[in-house]
Amino acid sequence: MKVTKTTLMAGAIVAVAGAASAEEMTIVSWGGAYSKSQLKAYHEPYSEKTGVTILNDDSSAEAVAKLRAMNEAGNVTWDVVDVVAADAIRLCDEGLALEIDFDTQLAPAPDGTSASDDFGDLLVSDCFIPQIVYSTTFGYRTDLVGDNPPSDICAVFDLETYPGKRSLEKRPINNMEWALLCDGVAKDDVYDVLATPEGQDQALAKLGTIKDNVVWWSAGADTPQLLADGEVIMGSTYNGRLFSVIEEQKQPVAMLWDAQVFDLDGWIIPAGLSEERQKRALDYIMFATDTQRLADQAKYISYGPARASSAPLVGQHADLGIDMAPHMPTDPENAKNTFLYNYEFWADYRDDIDAKFQAWLAQ
């Protein structure tokens, strides 16, 4: 019986294998709702226009390690990879990503502004083409905070007014900044203070005041689940996840935009592609990061387009029919007090502070 099964399976493999088409490219992304938004906004129109089949690979979480392994093995199978900016910088440093000439290899804005001006400060690495601005921010249970909804990031550290658990990401980045900010450090000085061992101790001490009341998360989907369970009263996560909890799932949750930390997510092209594949990848990037395409993505997910010229084109949610602009982290109403993830600082200090942070957690 086993033998027949095996033959059947082998037959199935051949059948599957036969279906593969000639011109295809593999695009790596995060999966879930985010990949779906890319499928609708980028992949489908691109396939329609060029006839290239796009294979989606949900491996972005392992992209850095896997790209390095592929590069060392000399067998890069990915064509375009979606990563966060910090990973892109690391990949660029390691020589694993292709350097891009933004002005010639990306489309200019409709009004003729060059791509590098249109993206502006968001071009944080030579290899990285930003796609969206997302933010790490807090959501809280409206039914558990009483008549006094929090409006200030320091509510996270205020156990008296807001008793209950909070969820924070299990890494130093963002948490250390918030802790210092609520420990009396001026916003402009945060990174100077954090660069010193005393400053790091200060931040950990501040986090220590709520340590017993923190649930640490490592996957972006954790906080929404914890909020829905009522297991935590407030928690940090990506703003798009909170949007889905509030608007799509109709949970009693609201956003706390104060001191949200902006971060970027975007494309890199792996180094070491054959000329033909590299050309196709660049063609895709040129298409997928133009002004209209970036604005289109915002129809499906509440992340802000990375081009300045895309912002006015952001419309309504494709299914819910609500205006997306007020849900964008970049909306002026939401962006009164914000941080931009300090890439340079964390590229240097990440290993050092992470070791301290983990040792502190384990105490």
Partner 1 sequence: MTDATQSGPMLAADGTPLKKSLARSLRRRKLRALALIAPLLLFVLLSFVVPIVSMLFRSVENGIVAQTLPLTVVELQNWDAESGELPDEALYAAFTKDMIAAIEAKEHTKLGTRLNYEQTGMSSMFRKSGRKIKRLDPEADAPFKEKLIEIHDGWGDVDTWRVIKTHAVPITNGYFLNAVDMRRTPEGAQAQPEDKRILIKLFGRTLFMSLIITGSCILLAYPISYLLANLPMRVSNMLMILVLLPFWTSLLVRTSAWKVMLQQQGVINETLVWLGLVADDARLVIINNQFGTIIAMTHILLPFMILPMYSVMQTIPPYYTRAAKSMGATNWTTFWRIYFPQSIPGIGAGSILVFILAIGYYITPEIVGGTKGVFISNRIAYHISSSLNWGLAAALGTILLAVVLLLYWCYDKIVGIDNVKLG
Partner 2 sequence: MFVGAGQGNVLLGILIGAALMAGLAWLYINVLDNERVARWMTILGLAAIGFFFAGITGLIVGLLAGWFFAFFIFWLYEGRYRQKLLPYMTAGQVFWHYAFRVICGAIFVFLITPILVVLPLSFNAQDFFTFTPEMLRLDPEGYSLKHYRDFFTNNEWQRSFKNSLIIAPIATFISVTLGTLAAIGLSQSHVPGRRAIMGILISPMIVPLIISATGMFFFYSDIGRFLEGTLGMNKNFVGYVKVVLAHAVLGIPFVIITVTATLVGFDQSLTRAAANMGAGPVRTFFKIQMPLILPGVISGGLFAFITSFDEVVVVLFVGSASQKTLPWQMFTGLREQISPTILAVATILVVISIALLTTVELLRRRSERLRGLSPA
CB-hemisphere CA count at 13 Å for 105?
19
* Min dist. Cβ of residue 349 to partner 2 (A): 24
80's CB contacts (< 8 A; 6+ apart) are 25, 26, 27, 28, 267, 268, 269, 281, 284, 285
Task: Say whether residue 93 binds partner 1 (CB under 8 A).
Answer: yes
Considering CB distances under 5 to 8 angstroms, the limit depending on partner class, which of partner 2, partner 1, none binds residue 59?
Answer: partner 2
Considering CB distances under 5 to 8 angstroms, the limit depending on partner class, which of partner 1, partner 2, none binds residue 128?
Answer: none
| Whole-angstrom distance, CA of residue 335 vs CA of residue 257 | 7
* Min dist. Cβ of residue 229 to partner 2 (A): 5
Task: Say whether residue 355 binds partner 2 (CB under 8 A).
Answer: no
Task: Say whether residue 64 binds partner 1 (CB under 8 A).
Answer: yes
Could you give the C-alpha distances from 163 to 62, 121, 144, 227, in angstroms and in order?
Answer: 37, 39, 9, 14
**E strand or H helix at 72:** helix 63-73
Region label for 9, one of left (φ > 0), alpha (ψ between -120 and 50) or beta (otherwise): alpha
Position among 47, 53, 77, 209 found at the interface with partner 2 (CB under 8 A): 77
Task: Say whether residue 352 binds partner 1 (CB under 8 A).
Answer: yes
Considering CB distances under 5 to 8 angstroms, the limit depending on partner class, which of partner 2, partner 1, none binds residue 33?
Answer: partner 2
* Min dist. Cβ of residue 203 to partner 2 (A): 27
Three-state SS for 307-319 is CHHHHHHCCECCC
**CB of 9 or CB of 322, closer to partner 2:** 9
By rule CB under 8 A, what string of x and - marks binding of each residue 241-280 to partner 2? x--x---xx-------------------------------
Task: Say whether residue 220 binds partner 1 (CB under 8 A).
Answer: no
Considering CB distances under 5 to 8 angstroms, the limit depending on partner class, which of partner 2, partner 1, none binds residue 70?
Answer: partner 2
Q: Quick count: other Cβ atoms within 10 Å of Cβ 27? A: 23
In the chain the first and final C-alpha atoms are separated, in Å, by 55
**CB of 43 or CB of 90, closer to partner 1:** 90
**E strand or H helix at 215:** strand 214-217
- Backbone φ and ψ for 166, nearest 5 degrees, come out as -125, 155
Task: Say whether residue 230 binds partner 1 (CB under 8 A).
Answer: yes
Instruction: Select from 276, 278, 321 the least CA-distant residue to 300.
Output: 321
Task: Say whether residue 216 binds partner 1 (CB under 8 A).
Answer: yes
Task: Say whether residue 347 binds partner 1 (CB under 8 A).
Answer: yes
CB-hemisphere CA count at 13 Å for 13?
6
Task: Say whether residue 101 binds partner 1 (CB under 8 A).
Answer: no
Position among 44, 62, 248, 323 found at the interface with partner 1 (CB under 8 A): 62
- Backbone φ and ψ for 236, nearest 5 degrees, come out as -95, 145
| Whole-angstrom distance, CA of residue 91 vs CA of residue 88 | 5
* Min dist. Cβ of residue 86 to partner 2 (A): 18
Whether 126 and 296 have beta carbons less than 8 Å apart is answered as: no
Position among 44, 65, 186, 320 found at the interface with partner 2 (CB under 8 A): 65
Whether 336 and 320 have beta carbons less than 8 Å apart is answered as: no
Task: Say whether residue 210 binds partner 1 (CB under 8 A).
Answer: no
Point out which residues bind partner 1 (CB under 8 A).
61-62, 64-65, 68, 90, 92-95, 165, 201, 211, 215-216, 218, 229-231, 344, 347-352, 354-356, 358-362
Residues forming the site for partner 2 (CB under 8 A) = 2, 5-6, 9-10, 12-14, 16-18, 20, 26, 30-35, 55-59, 61-62, 65-66, 69-70, 72-75, 77, 219-221, 224-225, 228-229, 241, 244, 248-249
